[in-house]
């Protein structure tokens, strides 16, 4: 990442002390030309000279140095439950992003015209309008179940590369990882196939919201919007209204939960998504909200759950590397492994690179590496 000095701050500090650039150079022990190059951004001082510069001008590091963050990867996690995303997680994801940069020239040319949500808002009516427009563009009726397959083409046409991974049923901080490279204008989305279909659909819709709103990626606001958009897209207002009407005729908590679960099964989504959408609908319409214990919802969800995406796609599990790579290419329209194969041949890159960019074991990395080197 390129760094530059705050030239104006340095010049002001010199003026306050009645010093010239030549005086500063002599004080630090470098040539006057070196100082000139620093101020012009042609060069950057080495750590010992930087410390002397800060001490001599009584400037803090933030006052002295400006970071050019245009090349820094922007990362966003689809978090698991209430798990916290710490600094170490962010740092690892940024390092993965930096390692992905050499892969970009091997990708096909990205489309310049992309779908964007220009004024993203969690306002209920604006969310419903955005979800409705997306469904119309995809040719999916307002009452129809939306499969994750319907969303795949949207990623490809929006400069996003899907990278299906098999992380197992992890109980860690992430279940999908969004890495945007601003300078290259490319986004990589790693998404775990070892996930129940109803959850996988929500994550795909969540990640699509990030793709539609790149300026919000990596922020709490962006996470809130992506969650809200995903719910509205998978279970839009016309479906919610019908569900609410059915629920309003129920007389006890258990029958309400049963009705929610019936709606969830019909649309192959989580009962939690149905519940949240019903509650938002009731508030927007100023209708009575549901008064049920959420822990009972979770118990119902955990008792009745669908298969994972990997179980549907592959038999037996785990798949052979060639089967896995073919599924990524054809089922998810991903050019990732095509580009990776080219990079491996051009640079003679080893399996350690795959281990780092896919966050997988070295054993799995070696198996995929061997397949790609054929």
Give the pLDDT confidence score for residue 94 in this predicted structure.
87
Give the pLDDT confidence score for residue 40 in this predicted structure.
85
| Long-range contacts, 330-334 (Cβ 8 Å, 24+) | 331/149, 331/152, 331/164, 332/152, 332/162, 332/164, 333/152, 333/153, 333/155, 333/156, 333/162, 334/161, 334/162, 334/163, 334/164
What's the token pair of residue 104?
């970009």
Pairing verdict, β 160-165 and 186-192 = parallel
Under the banding of pLDDT at 50, 70 and 90, the label for residue 66 is confident
Q: What is the mean pLDDT of residues 71-93?
A: 71
List the chain domain ranges: 3-67, 73-234+304-374, 237-303
Verdict on whether the full-model pTM lies above 0.75: yes
**Residue 290: DSSP 8-state:** P
Is a pLDDT exceeding 80 seen at residue 158?
A: yes
CB 270 within 8 Å of CB 314 = no
The CA-to-CA distance between both ends of the chain, in Å, stands at 35
For every residue of 291-321, DSSP letters joined together read ---HHHHHHHHHHS---BHHHHH-SSSSPPH
Q: Which helix (H) or strand (E) holds 158?
A: none
The pLDDT tens digits for 342-359 are 999 998 889 999 999 999
| 248 three-state secondary structure | coil
Of 20-24, 143-147, 249-253, 274-278, which range is least confident? 249-253
Pairing verdict, β 74-79 and 186-192 = unpaired
Strands (E), 153-271: 160-165, 174-181, 186-192
Q: How far is CA 319 from each of CA 78, 170, 315, 365, rounded to the nearest angstrom?
A: 25, 18, 7, 14
Is a pLDDT exceeding 80 seen at residue 81?
A: no
Give the pLDDT confidence score for residue 4 in this predicted structure.
81
Q: Does domain 3-67 have CATH number 3.40.50.620?
A: no
The pLDDT tens digits for 304-328 are 677 999 999 999 999 999 999 999 9
Dihedral in degrees, nearest 10, Cα atoms 170, 299, 243, 126? -40
The pLDDT tens digits for 134-156 are 999 999 999 999 999 999 999 98
Integer Cα distance of 14 and 56 in angstroms: 10
Other Cβ atoms less than 10 A from the Cβ of 18: the count is 7
Is a pLDDT exceeding 70 seen at residue 82?
A: no
Of 19-33, 82-96, 97-111, 206-220, which range is least confident? 82-96
Of 51-65, 97-111, 138-152, 154-168, which range is least confident? 51-65
Integer Rg of the chain from CA: 26
What's the token pair of residue 279?
């509650």
Integer Cα distance of 284 and 132 in angstroms: 17
Q: Give strand pairing partners of 164.
A: 191
Q: Which helix (H) or strand (E) holds 330?
A: helix 321-330
3-state SS, one letter per residue, for 60-87: CHHHHEEECHHHCCEEEEEECCCCCCCH
133 closest CA partner among 240, 233, 269: 233
Q: What is the mean pLDDT of residues 269-284?
A: 96
Give the pLDDT confidence score for residue 201 in this predicted structure.
96
Is a pLDDT exceeding 70 seen at residue 21?
A: yes
Surface-to-core class of residue 286, CB atoms within 10 Å of its CB (0-12 exposed, 13-18 middle, 19+ buried):
exposed
Q: In this prediction, what percent of the chain has a pLDDT beyond 90?
A: 64
Is a pLDDT exceeding 70 seen at residue 76?
A: yes
């Amino acid at each position: 990442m390129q760094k530059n000095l705050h030239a104006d701050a340095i010049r002001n500090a010199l003026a306050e002390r009645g010093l010239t650039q030549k005086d500063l150079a002599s004080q630090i022990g470098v040539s006057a030309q070196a100082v000139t190059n620093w101020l012009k951004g042609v060069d950057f001082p080495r750590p010992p000279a930087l410390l002397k510069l800060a001490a001599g001008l009584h400037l803090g590091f933030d006052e002295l140095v400006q970071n050019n963050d245009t090349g820094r990867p922007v990362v966003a996690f689809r978090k698991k439950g209430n798990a916290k995303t710490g600094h170490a997680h962010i740092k690892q994801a940024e390092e993965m992003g930096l390692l992905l940069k050499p892969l970009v020239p091997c990708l096909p040319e990205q489309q310049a015209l992309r779908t964007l949500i220009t004024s993203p808002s969690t306002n209920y009516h604006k969310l419903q309008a955005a979800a409705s427009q997306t469904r119309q563009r995809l040719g999916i009726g307002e009452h129809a179940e939306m499969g994750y397959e319907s969303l795949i083409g949207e990623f490809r046409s929006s400069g996003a590369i899907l990278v299906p991974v098999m992380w197992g049923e992890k109980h860690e901080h992430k279940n999908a990882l969004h890495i945007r490279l601003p300078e290259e204008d490319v986004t990589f989305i790693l998404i775990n196939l070892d996930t129940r279909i109803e959850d996988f659909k929500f994550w795909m819709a969540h990640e699509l919201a990030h793709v539609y709103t790149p300026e919000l990626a990596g922020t709490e606001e962006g996470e809130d919007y992506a969650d809200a958009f995903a719910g509205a897209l998978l279970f839009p207002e016309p479906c919610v209204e019908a569900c609410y009407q059915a629920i309003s005729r129920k007389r006890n908590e258990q029958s309400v939960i049963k009705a929610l679960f019936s709606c969830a099964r019909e649309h192959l989504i989580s009962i939690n998504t149905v519940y949240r959408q019903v509650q938002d609908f009731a508030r927007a319409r100023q209708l009575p909200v549901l008064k049920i214990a959420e822990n009972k919802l979770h118990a119902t969800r955990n008792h009745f759950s669908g298969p994972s995406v990997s179980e549907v796609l592959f038999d037996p599990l785990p798949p052979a590397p060639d089967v896995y790579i073919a599924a990524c290419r054809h089922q998810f329209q991903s050019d990732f492994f095509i580009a990776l194969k080219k990079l491996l041949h051009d640079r003679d890159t080893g399996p350690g690179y795959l281990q780092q960019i896919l966050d997988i074991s070295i054993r799995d990395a070696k198996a995929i590496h061997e397949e790609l080197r054929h």
